[in-house]
């Protein structure tokens, strides 16, 4: 494999949409249109929030997660696990990717740079000692939920609008949904994390508590979204009736698919989540 191919493998392209989708929703909310007003800056932001940020964050993660990754079947093809690269090479790549991330963010704007630097700092705190928040139950969920649910849409919003005008209600909904989607992933990695001594949320509290917490977070996200639609705050009133119809479906889908979570089941759950996401975007633009 070439060096470029290995760099892409480290950045896991299937993770890029995890930040792209909420960032795009933030852009749609800011501009009230499908195509961003400032397209050059939006394209650079797409590059930063996709391959560059994920490349840096996941390289940092791989450097410190090797013991659990070796015991995790879904990490069997990771370049560091297979021996395709060594620690020194990955550290060097991390530095270059992080530098490229900040440099590209400068084109979008100084406040965007601060946001990117904050995400890189959280990525370090999540994976690296001495903080290693991944092994601090609750913090592991909070870091991922904050970055995906609040920082990503705020980044999309800030391409054309002042970040301090970003609606906190939208960030709250995003954080709740992101947390609900992240908690089951700690269950899928439970065996590998336990064998490596990593005290994640599922390792500390067990699958049953993780399941209950996920259902509670998912329900809270739906409730806040419904309340916003009823009052016309952020979520258009036109989505109220569709939400009343889809909420039971979304609750049932979450309850079934996360009972014994697997990556394919979580992928199916993401498809269900795409329905209200698309509906929100259509209502905002419309």
> Digits of tens for pLDDT over the chain (286 positions)?
788 999 999 999 999 999 999 999 999 999 999 999 999 999 999 999 999 999 999 999 999 999 999 988 888 889 999 999 999 999 999 999 999 999 999 999 998 999 999 999 999 999 999 999 999 999 999 999 999 999 999 999 999 999 999 999 999 999 999 999 999 999 999 999 999 899 999 999 999 999 999 999 999 999 999 999 999 998 889 999 999 999 999 999 999 999 999 999 999 999 999 988 998 999 999 7
User: Which pLDDT does position 227 carry in this prediction?
Assistant: 96
The pTM (predicted TM-score) of the whole model is 0.94
User: Which pLDDT does position 72 carry in this prediction?
Assistant: 87
Map tokens 């601060």 to a residue: 114
Task: Enumerate the domain spans of the chain.
Answer: 14-22+38-285
DSSP secondary structure string, 206-265? HHHHHHHHHHHHHHHHHHHHHHHHHHTSSS-GGGHHHHHHHHHHHHHHHHHHTTS--HHH
Kind and range of the H or E run holding 154:
helix 152-157
Backbone torsions φ then ψ of 49, nearest 5 degrees = -75, -15
Q: How far apart are CA 2 and CA 10, in angstroms?
A: 13
User: Which pLDDT does position 138 carry in this prediction?
Assistant: 95
User: Which pLDDT does position 50 carry in this prediction?
Assistant: 96
187 close to 181: Cβ distance less than 8 angstroms: no
Q: How far apart are CA 92 and CA 64, in angstroms?
A: 15
């Amino acid at each position: 494999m070439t060096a470029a191919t290995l760099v892409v493998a480290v950045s896991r392209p299937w993770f890029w949409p995890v930040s792209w989708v909420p960032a795009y929703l933030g852009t749609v909310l800011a501009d009230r249109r499908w195509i961003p007003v400032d397209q050059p800056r939006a394209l650079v932001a797409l590059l930063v929030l996709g391959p560059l940020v994920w490349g840096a964050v996941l390289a940092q993660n791989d450097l410190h997660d090797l013991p659990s990754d070796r015991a995790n079947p879904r990490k069997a093809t990771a370049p560091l696990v297979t021996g395709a690269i060594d620690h020194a090479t990955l550290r060097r790549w991390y530095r270059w990717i992080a530098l490229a991330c900040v440099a590209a963010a400068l084109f979008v704007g100084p406040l965007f740079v601060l946001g990117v630097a904050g995400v890189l700092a959280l990525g370090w705190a999540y994976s690296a000692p001495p903080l290693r928040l991944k092994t601090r139950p609750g913090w592991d969920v909070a870091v991922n939920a904050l970055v995906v649910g609040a920082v990503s849409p705020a980044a999309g919003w800030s391409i054309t609008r002042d970040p301090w005008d970003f609606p906190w209600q939208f960030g709250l909904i995003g954080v709740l949904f992101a947390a609900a989607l992240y908690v089951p992933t700690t269950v899928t990695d439970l065996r590998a994390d336990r064998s490596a001594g990593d005290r994640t949320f599922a390792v500390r509290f067990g699958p049953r508590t993780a399941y209950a917490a996920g259902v509670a977070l998912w329900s809270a996200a739906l409730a806040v979204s419904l309340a916003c639609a009823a009052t016309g705050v952020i979520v258009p009133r036109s989505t109220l009736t569709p939400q009343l119809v889809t909420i039971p479906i979304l609750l049932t889908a979450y309850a079934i698919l996360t009972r014994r979570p697997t990556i394919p089941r979580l992928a199916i759950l993401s498809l269900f989540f795409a329905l209200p996401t698309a509906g929100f975007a259509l209502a905002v633009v419309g």
